[in-house]
Structures are given as C-alpha cells and as structure tokens.
Amino acid sequence: MKKHIDTIEEYTRRIANELKVTGVINIQYAICKDKVYVLEANPRASRTVPLVSKVCSIPMASLATRLMMGEKIKDLNLQKRLIPHVGVKEAVFPFNMFPEVDPVLGPEMKSTGEVLGIAKSFGLAYWKAQEAVTALPTKGTVLITVAERDRSSLIEVARQFVKAGFKIRATEGTQAFLASYGVVSELILKEHEGRPNITDAIKNKEIQLVINTPSGKLSKYDDSYIRKAAIKYKVPCITSLTAAMAAARGIAAYCAGKSSVKSIQQYHAARAPV
C-alpha cells in the first residue's frame, strides 16, 4: 500500500540522517496488522544490495562509493521511478548436505546464498525464484500437517491447492479441521501410528509437496522426521503457511501460461518516471 511505502521512505530518511550514514544502510521492515515496524538498521551493505540493484536498475554499490568519496546525492542525477515488475529474493539452504539436520528455520542465519526471480506478478516471480532452489510441482499430491496454532490460515491455502488440481493428504488433526470447512483430504498416518505412513509415502514418491509447520519441542511426538524425509528424497518442503500461500500463487501463475524469459534490460525499459 502507498501509505506503507511512504512510511518506510520517511523512516529510512530519518534513520539514515540520525545515524549520519554516508554510503549504504540496510534497514529491514515488517508490516503487521497495518502497522510498519523497523526490525533492524545496519550501516553497511549486504547480499541483498546487488539483487535490489538489479530489480531497480540502480548501481547502489557504485553510487554509495561515490558518496563516500565526497560527492553529494544531488550530484548523482537520481530520479524516482515506478518499478512495474516484482522481484522475489529466495535464500539457498544447504539442507541436502546435512540430511540428519532438521531443516526448520530459526533466527540464526543458515543460508549459503540467494537467488532472484523477476516477473510481472508476485506469484510468477516467486515461482521463478523457487525454480533456482527447489522447483515447485505443478500437479500431484500435497501433504499437509500443521500445528494447531497455525490452522487459522490453513483453509485458504488448502483451497488454493485444490483449485490448482492437487490432491491433499493430511494427518488426523489437520484432516478433521479441513473437513469442518468442507475441504476434502485423504488421511495419512504419522510414523508412530502405523504403516503405511508419511515417510513411506514420501519415499515412494506419492507426495510431491510437503507443508509442515513444526509442532515444537513441547509436543509429545517429534515431527522433524517429516522434514528430514522430504529433504532426503528431494521433495519440496514448506514450513510456514505464508510460504505455502506464496507457493500456491506461484503454481497458479505458472500454470496460467504467463511465464516468459526477458533480459534485465527489457524489464528496465518499461520503467516510468513518477
């Protein structure tokens, strides 16, 4: 929303001025319940800088160096322009190198690289970014097993996958929740409930995508085996419903047949001044 962009621009100027930064400052924001939050501000470059530079066609490292050498912003001939495309940055994780490590994410940095997807829409840009990491399926079966605390956003995600033509298999609690909202799914057993179970289905390539939000350390049963099995047998694994919705949008955009390959110059030629 424009009001959020205006707020972010204002906060960025104020923070940079107060910290007296000359060069690059990396500020991370989050928007929650219509409110903008500042997560952190680092007076340095980051791996994100070259990616944002490509999306916006602004050589940020070069311009920052010129400022550090004494030039002024007014001398750089910068113009504010609308960006008619979307860029999605995706982190690359080396989980396939450590098959016994639970691939759930936490506050510590585990990524070893980043990739960029650019397209006219968010969904297609997300799809392109995932292609460089772990390609999303376009058909098949989605395994859904989420913690009870995460179910508030589950119905829309499940409906999106059903609309895209996917079958859904779900564990007992998740299946009952989906059924209460009219979403049909097939029951699948957890490891401690017998066989054939989740691990068997993943191993036998009956599952093309795993959506699993961790139950947490206080849970009676450890569900990390689900995520480990997905990594071991090279099945895409999503551990948050936000990412699951993004994946659903990406798959829908790709299946709509709007994917195309364009040079970065072609994308930037479409930019318009504000």
Least confident of 79-83, 170-174, 209-213, 242-246: 79-83
The residues, ordered by sequence, that sit 6+ positions from 228 with a Cβ below 8 Å of its Cβ are 99, 100, 101, 102, 103
Residue 218: is its pLDDT beyond 70? no
Look up the CATH number of domain 2-78. Answer: 3.30.470.20
Contact status, residue 189 vs residue 166, Cβ threshold 8 Å = no
pTM of the prediction? 0.83
Dump pLDDT digits (tens) for 158-186. 999 999 999 999 999 999 999 999 999 99
The domains of the chain are located at 2-78, 87-255
Residue 197 banded pLDDT, cuts 50, 70, 90: very high
Look up the CATH number of domain 87-255. Answer: 3.40.50.1380
